[in-house]
Structures are given as C-alpha cells and as structure tokens.
Amino acid sequence: MNPTKSILTGIAALSVFSAGSSTSQIKRIVQKPNIIYILADDLGYGDLSCYGQKKFNTPNIDQLAQKGILFTRHYAGCTVCAPSRSSLMTGLHTGHTPIRGNKGWDPEGQYPIPKNTFTLAELMKQAGYTTGAFGKWGLGFIGTDGDPNKQGFDEFFGFNCQSLAHNYFPAYLWDNDKKVILKGNTGDKLKEYAPKLIHDRALGFIEKNNPNQTGKPFFLFYPTTIPHAELMLPEENMKEFRGKLLPEKVYKGAEPGTAGFRTGSYGTQPESHAAFAAMVTLLDKQVGEVVAKLKELGLDKNTIIIFSSDNGPHLEGGADPDYFDSNGPLKGYKRDLCEGGIRVPMIACWPGKIKAGSETEHVSAFWDVMPTVAEIAGITAPKNLDGISFLPSLTENGIQEKHKTLYWEFHEMDGRQALLRNDWKLVRYHVFTPEKTTTELYNLKKDIAEERNVAAENPELVKEMLEMMKNSRNDSDIFPFRN
C-alpha cells in the first residue's frame, strides 16, 4: 500500500453522527484536518528571516518552518495579483486558467471568474468543509459569477477590489454582499485599519467553526493585503522601527483632498523603510495569533497551515526591495518573469505529519495546491488540472511526481512568457512586438540569479522549449495573448 495513502486513511474518514451526539463524541469522529492557507501580498522570496532577511525578524513564521517544511523552489501562479490567484483557485496555470490579467470591472473589482469554474473552495465544500475567505479577493465583483459566495465560500470579509485594497484605511469593506462603512475613516480620519479588522474576522471564523463543536472541518483562505503598498500603519506599529532603518525613503503620494485618496492611489509615507518592516512584522504577529488561536481551541494538532505569497516584491508606493534584499539571490521584481517575480516563499506546518525543520527543493507552483489539498481532504481532484499533488514532499512518504514543465504568461508590458524545464528556464519578453522579442535561456542550477543568457549556445534546446511553450496554452477570448 502507498505509504501516503495509508497516512490519509485516518485523515479522510468523517463518520456520520446523530443530531444528539455529544461534544465528546464529535471530538472523536472529526478526523479530516482543518486547512489554513495564508497568502501574503507582494512578499518577496527574501522578506522572511527564515529565507535570509536581515533587517528585521519574522519569528512566528520562522517557527512554522522550524516545526514544518520550507520550500526553496515554489512558484506563484503569475507575477501580479488576479491571474496568480486564479491559478491558485483553479489548479491551472496562466496558459489555461480563466483569469489571465488584471482586467477591471465596472463598477468595482476585477473581471469575474466564469460561472462554470470549479474552484478550490468548491472542492473543499464537496469534501465536507466549511469555507471562509478573509482579505483580498479580486476575482469578481459582488453579485457577479465571480462573487466569492458564488465560488464556494460560505463567508467572505474584506476587499473585493484589489485596486481599493491598495488603501489600508479604506472607506468600506465587504461582509459577504453587504458593504460595511468604516466611519472611523471618513474625511481625513485614519482610525480603522483594514488588516486588523480582517484579522479579527479570520480569528472569529476559526472560533465559530471549531470542529470540536460543529463536527465539520474548516478551510480558511486568508489572502492578507500585507505588505502591498501603500505602506501605512497605526502609530503603535510604526514606533518600533522609526529611525532605525536609515537612510529613510520618502514617498509623496495621495493625501486627504487629493485625487486618488482612498480610491487606489498610495498614500504619502515619509518613512517607507520603517513602514515596510513594521508591516511584515505585523503580518508575522498575525500569523502567530492564528497559531495561538488553534492551540487555545485544541485544533493545532489537526490543522495544516500553508503560508506563501502571490508574487515577488513590488516597487510601488515607496517600497524599496533593494534596501531589504527582498529578492534574496534572485533577479527581478513583481511583473517580471525572472525568478524574483515568481519564485515565492512557501512554508507548511502540520504537526505529526510533516517532519519538523525539513526543507525541500521540490519544484512546485500555485496550481499544485488544489490536487494537494484534495488528497489531504480525501477527495478526488478534478481531471485535466495542470497541478500535481506535493503531499509526498510534505510527508516524506510515497513517490513524488515531478513536473515536466512549468509555464507562465503575463499580458502587460508588451507580453511576457516563461517556461521551466528541470533546471532550464526560457524567458521571452516583448512577445507582442516580434521585432523586439527577446529569448533568454538560463541554467538555474548554475545561475540562480539569471545573469548569463546561454540561448545562443543551446539552439536545439531553445527550439524544443519554444515548442513546449507554444503547446502550453490555449486561446482566451477575454484575455487574448497576441503571440
């Protein structure tokens, strides 16, 4: 018998119980693990101390790695928000997933996921989970087919629109289909900090859906807006770093009474370095509070936490990734298909199932999350996904299937494509303008920083990979890719 399957035998079973079952009976029969997926926003590969950050520390996230597993070659779905999240939700890369770009929607939000899309949340519902999403959605306005409540989530709270999620003291947030006006943020007031409001609701979801009381496991999707620009926090968070990360970087942005204030433009920040460190520190604190809540409720032993980021570090709103070495050894930023734009941190912690302090070089991507979670939940994943389960890498049991190739496409900046085959990475820029198109080939094993283009030395390999790239995608009427 496959060792991984034997591990899951006890996990996947969920016994039927009568309406009159006691709490103690429920505790005995609930066996499927709770699943928490925390997604940071624009957090770079080098922005955590367990990945090499030196300017500040992230002890709570580091502890997840110490008690679980750290991935060194995990990739986001894309190099910007919406397509990356679409890839995560569908198990499909950007050559196949329905949302392939940051396309706006009137009156608010981004182009919606089609009605017939099968999402990660719907998979969890089929497996018997209560589902909740807290943070930034960006895959369809309220009432459209992409509404999170129509795509498998029982509860949603946060920003529907990723542009409005630029602002940390917003005019309102969404509670399912209800707009919650934040009176403390009217006029020029900055009183109600969205990441804290969202965090409180996420913790409340865990309490409210405690399987020891409900008899059902939960799936918590926590796509925080931290540390995306704008770089703004309450004073209580800023003071720890003020004056300690010099020379400071001043960013002049939107202010009360100016265009774009609270509607997507980034706010003024005279201490961008202090603000960035404080934001990642707050994120780390909130991760620690999630772990503490699980322990308080006796759920920590039967909950898997996965932590990652939606793409590489940004250069917006005063952000200074070079100062913080946010890319670590990698080249590129958000919107690049170099490693720095798409290789992201990923940590998984599952007491008793994942070996503490382990590390893996297994090559994985966002589209692998759906088949992995399906296997953990004891349900069959849909056919024709681009992803493969990385559960054998998590548990060190069974044979880990490997990708033949990984593919990305980016529809902005004149079109970009990348294909990874073993240690070989093919990158094409200016795809929409043939006379400007560049074709670059790198051997990541020898050249992780992608400094030496060896395309001219390997013409046959380039030809093979170009053909693979061509066959890695299908056409989209909504997101045409002029190739």
Query: What's the CATH number where 150 sits?
Result: 3.40.720.10
Rg of the chain (C-alpha set): 22
**DSSP for residue 269:** B
The set of long-range contacts for 355-358, using a CB threshold of 8 Å and a minimum separation of 24, is: 355/69, 355/396, 356/66, 356/67, 356/68, 357/65, 357/66, 357/67, 358/68, 358/69, 358/70, 358/396
In DSSP notation, 48-92 reads SGGGT--SS--HHHHHHHHHSEEEEEEE-S-SSHHHHHHHHHHT-
Residue 399 maps to a domain: yes
**Looking at 358, 384, 403, which one is the last position of a domain?**
403
Residue 329 maps to a domain: yes
Which token pair is 325?
């070495």
Same structural domain, 193 and 311: yes
Residue 20 maps to a domain: no
Q: What is the number of alpha carbons within 13 Å of residue 109 lying toward its C-beta?
A: 22
Same structural domain, 343 and 409: no
Residue 231 maps to a domain: yes
Residue 18 maps to a domain: no
Same structural domain, 314 and 436: no
Same structural domain, 436 and 364: no
Q: What is the pLDDT of residue 24?
A: 43
Same structural domain, 428 and 291: no
Same structural domain, 479 and 449: yes
Average pLDDT estimate for 214-239 = 97
Same structural domain, 358 and 455: no
pLDDT in tens, 159-171: 999 999 999 999 9
Same structural domain, 336 and 467: no
DSSP-assigned beta bridge partners for residue 155: 132
Q: What is the pLDDT of residue 418?
A: 98
Residue 23 maps to a domain: no
257: left (phi over 0), alpha (psi -120 to 50) or beta: left
Residue 21 maps to a domain: no
Cα–Cα distance list, 54 to 43, 50, 243, 449 (Å): 15, 10, 17, 19
pLDDT band at 15; cut points 50, 70, 90: very low
Structural domain containing residue 426: 404-483
Q: What is the pLDDT of residue 419?
A: 98
Same structural domain, 200 and 347: yes
Residue 234: how many CB atoms within 10 A of its CB?
17
DSSP-assigned beta bridge partners for residue 306: 37, 348
d(CA 59, CA 69): 15
Kindly report the CATH number assigned to the domain that includes residue 467.
Answer: 3.30.1120.10
pLDDT in tens, 243-280: 999 999 999 999 999 999 999 999 999 999 999 999 99
Whether residue 479 contacts residue 411, with contact meaning beta carbons closer than 8 Å, is answered with: yes
**Looking at 369, 403, 437, which one is the last position of a domain?**
403
d(CA 237, CA 357): 30
Considering the chain, what percentage of its residues have pLDDT values greater than 70? 94
Count, residues in the chain:
483
**DSSP for residue 297:** T
Split into its structural domains, the chain has a count of 2
Residue 121 maps to a domain: yes
Average pLDDT estimate for 434-445 = 97
In DSSP notation, 26-48 reads HHHH--SPEEEEEEESS--TTSS
**Looking at 403, 436, 457, which one is the last position of a domain?**
403
Same structural domain, 452 and 379: no
Same structural domain, 442 and 398: no
Same structural domain, 384 and 430: no
DSSP-assigned beta bridge partners for residue 229: none
